[in-house]
Amino acid sequence: MDRFELICPAGTPAALRAAVEAGADAVYLGFRDETNARNFPGLNFTRQDLAESIAFAHARRVQVFVAINTYPEAGNLAPWHRAVDDAARLKADAVILADLGLLDYAARTHPELRLHLSVQASAANAEAIRLYRDAFGVRRIVLPRVLTVPEIAKLNAEVDVETEVFVFGGLCPMAEGRCSLSSYATGLSPNKQGVCSPASHVRYEPRGKALASTLGGFTINVFGEGENAGYPTLCKGRFVARDTAAYLFEEPTSLNAMDLLPELKSAGVRALKIEGRQRGKAYIGAVVRAYREALDAFAAGRPVPRIDLQAMVEGGTQTTGAYTRAWR
Amino acid sequence: MRDPDAVLDADAESIADGRARLIEAELSRAGLGLVLRMGDRGSGLLLDRLVRLLAIRHPRAFVAMREMPDARVLIEPTDARVALLLRVGPELSLRLRPCQARKDGAAATDGMADAVISGPYARLLDLLEGRIDGDALFFRRELSIAGDTALIVALRNTLDGEEMDLLADALSFAGPLASLLPVLRRNAGPLLDRLADARRLLPPPLKWGIARIEARLPGFGPGREA
Ligand code: SF4
């Protein structure tokens, strides 16, 4: 039986080293600009950081994937093209792309470069996936977080492309690449500027013993004394409708699919992905170590140990997301 | 497939580590209190030297902090009398300020800073060194932040991108003292045990005396009462 590949996030070279040392098979990361969907202040890699990080990872037989997964601006393709060219020149093992034009550019300019389709492209059916494979030679699809395990199994049976699924971290409950909530409140979106609910528009305000989180002047949540707080991601807001405050779109829970390893294996999934390039190296080290342990046990046919990651997750609660359908 | 009884054990090494950390946090907190007593000029000179030294050791982070727009972040322990005022941007500097007492326990900028991070001293030290996940601490309400969130996120990301050992760095210009740190770290567990035993055996008046001396030491004890 093929082993799962464990794909881990890194927002800084130190986080990459933490992921490699904790047992990642591959690390994904982005450049320091709007070409990737985690364009946060102080985060990400310069060209030199990438060169050094690739040398570090390759010396330990760990792969490096570069996410260039936002949609280029009309009339300003250069930063996106440069990102693809530099990833190829610095010997990244794959680039993770979403935009059709950029996929075409990468396939034509760097035929030897391995292409992965980003979750941002939301390819969720066999026809779409076949098109990406046949037109651009895409080798792996990162599946959107809206599919159930039986749907993933069906997809894998229908198309011969590797699939990668998210198993841990924050949830983006909409079909990725199609959400405009953040644009509406702040003028900035994950699809264009690489930020959902950007920190520049976030404020936390004490209100008596409670803590309010606001985004672009809108109150997104008010946490009572002692209640776990959260980042004011718009879709995880608690809004008042008909005089009742409730999570209208999505509760601030985090995905953890560690219980579903056997199901994901039978569904034909090739790689498991951990979310969180914006999180610190302590988080990345702890989560990657836990998953390495679980995957090694699973591959050896041993029981998967119970590993407590509760303290790490936003909202302090975990879910198996859409995979088990309860959520959808 | 999942075995509910196979809970992972915390290894002994990390417990020893935790105890060494405790001593380090106490020592550095007391150290900061002493530096505050040197007055603005003396402490300023010392902190400038520390910043220069850290910049040589951690060029990536310090170049990034100098490239940030000019802004001030107050790092305010809830259990010490000293807060750190970090100025990022071209005029990067570090200064000490006495902690402000706050009724609601929440951080407030008071116009002195563009953003404030506050929490227990030991947690803040862990956070500055990237040993602990700041987001998780914030979600659990152990840390509070106020003011410019993007500034805090940028600073957190910049510092987290480094592997820093602030105490070792700070002690490295204290000459021979620096060589004591590894010894302290190795022996923290037994040392604490012996101290606790010794204290238990003391007659009560002496115990109270020690507690009173500790309370008078700058940096020890909660800052709110100051
Ligand atoms: S608002 Fe929510 S659903 Fe929309 S992009 Fe952000 S995380 Fe995803």
Place of tokens 């946090």: B25
Q: Which of A140-144, A173-177, A292-296, B119-123 has the lowest mean pLDDT?
A: A173-177
What gap in Å lies between CA A13 and CA A48, rounded to an integer?
Answer: 10
Q: How confident is the model at residue A219 (pLDDT cuts 50, 70, 90)?
A: very high
Q: Which of A14, A209, A262 sits opposite B160 (nearest CB)?
A: A14
Radius of gyration of chain A (CA): 19
Contact status of B103 with chain A (Cβ, < 8 Å): no
Q: Which atom of ligand 1 is nearest to the CA of A190?
A: 5
Q: Which amino acid is at A304?
A: V
Determine the average pLDDT of the residues in A1-28.
95
Does residue B103 register a pLDDT over 50? no
Does residue B5 register a pLDDT over 60? no
What gap in Å lies between CA A265 and CA A273, rounded to an integer?
Answer: 14
CB atoms within 10 A of CB A236: 25
Q: How confident is the model at residue B178 (pLDDT cuts 50, 70, 90)?
A: low
Does residue B226 register a pLDDT over 70? no
In this structure, what DSSP letter does residue A25 have? S
Give the C-alpha distances (Å, rounded to integers) separating B138 from A178, A204, B115, B141.
Answer: 29, 11, 15, 5
What gap in Å lies between CA A40 and CA A200, rounded to an integer?
Answer: 9
Q: How confident is the model at residue B24 (pLDDT cuts 50, 70, 90)?
A: confident
Q: Looking at residue A305, what is its pLDDT?
A: 83
Give the C-alpha distances (Å, rounded to integers) separating A304 from A272, A291, A297, B6, B8.
Answer: 16, 10, 6, 8, 11
Q: What is the mean pLDDT of chain A?
A: 90
Cβ–Cβ under 8 Å, residues A284 and A15? yes
Q: What is the pTM of this model?
A: 0.81
Instruction: Give Cα B1 to chain centroid, integer Å.
Output: 43
Q: How confident is the model at residue B53 (pLDDT cuts 50, 70, 90)?
A: confident
Q: Looking at residue B106, what is its pLDDT?
A: 46
Pairs of CB atoms within 8 A across A/B: 130
Rounded to the nearest 10°, the torsion over CA A152, A155, A157, A160 is -120
**pLDDT more than 70, % of chain B:** 62
Does residue B184 register a pLDDT over 70? no
Which among A179, A184, A191, A231 is the best mutation to test ligand 1's pocket, defined by most ligand atoms within 8 Å of the CB? A179
Q: What is the mean pLDDT of chain B?
A: 74
Architecture in CATH for domain B17-216: 2-Layer Sandwich (3.30)
Does residue A137 register a pLDDT over 90? yes
Cβ–Cβ under 8 Å, residues A90 and A110? no
Q: Which of A60-69, A89-98, B168-177 has the lowest mean pLDDT?
A: B168-177
Q: How confident is the model at residue B187 (pLDDT cuts 50, 70, 90)?
A: low
Q: Which of A115-119, A205-209, A271-275 has the lowest mean pLDDT?
A: A205-209
Of the candidates A32, A55, A53, which has an alpha carbon nearest to the alpha carbon of residue A44? Answer: A32
Does residue A297 register a pLDDT over 90? yes
The three-class DSSP label of residue B15 is: helix
Q: Looking at residue B220, what is its pLDDT?
A: 43
Q: How confident is the model at residue A179 (pLDDT cuts 50, 70, 90)?
A: confident
Dmax over CA atoms of chain A, in Å, equals 60
Q: How confident is the model at residue A186 (pLDDT cuts 50, 70, 90)?
A: very high
Cβ–Cβ under 8 Å, residues B155 and B73? yes
Q: Which atom of ligand 1 is nearest to the CA of A170?
A: 7
Q: Looking at residue A262, what is its pLDDT?
A: 95
CB contact under 8 A, B155 and A211: no
List of residues 6+ apart from A149 with CB closer than 8 A = A260, A263, A264, A267, A323, A324
CB contact under 8 A, B133 and A200: no
What gap in Å lies between CA B167 and CA B170, rounded to an integer?
Answer: 5
Q: Looking at residue B116, what is its pLDDT?
A: 93
Does residue A10 register a pLDDT over 90? yes
Model pLDDT for residues B191-213, shown as the tens digit of each residue:
666 666 766 666 666 666 666 65
What gap in Å lies between CA A128 and CA A133, rounded to an integer?
Answer: 9
Cβ–Cβ under 8 Å, residues B105 and B142? no
What are the tokens at B124? 């803040």
Determine whether the annotation assigns residue A8 to a binding site.
no
Q: Mark A264-303 as b/e (b = at least 16 C-beta within 10 Å).
A: bbebebbbbbbbbbbbbbbbbbbbbbbbbbbbebbeeeee
Q: Which of A137-141, A155-159, B98-102 has the lowest mean pLDDT?
A: B98-102
Q: Looking at residue B147, what is its pLDDT?
A: 92
What gap in Å lies between CA A82 and CA A80, rounded to an integer?
Answer: 5
Cβ–Cβ under 8 Å, residues A47 and A86? yes
Does residue B65 register a pLDDT over 60? yes
Instruction: Please report, for chain B, the start and end positions of each structural domain, with discontinuous segments joined by +.
Output: 17-216
Q: Give the strands of the sheet with B82-88, arranged side by side.
A: B93-98, B82-88, B71-77, B115-119, B144-147
Q: How confident is the model at residue B18 (pLDDT cuts 50, 70, 90)?
A: low
Does residue B170 register a pLDDT over 90? no
Does residue B3 register a pLDDT over 50? no
- Nearest CA, atom 5, ligand 1: A179
Domains parsed from chain A with CATH numbers: 5-171+253-323 (3.20.20.60), 186-247 (no CATH)
Determine the average pLDDT of the residues in A56-82.
95
Place of tokens 């836990």: A290
Contact status of B73 with chain A (Cβ, < 8 Å): no
Model pLDDT for residues B107-143, shown as the tens digit of each residue:
455 678 999 999 999 889 888 887 888 888 888 888 9
Cβ–Cβ under 8 Å, residues B101 and B224? yes
- Chain B residue with the nearest C-alpha to that of A13: B161
Does residue B14 register a pLDDT over 80? no
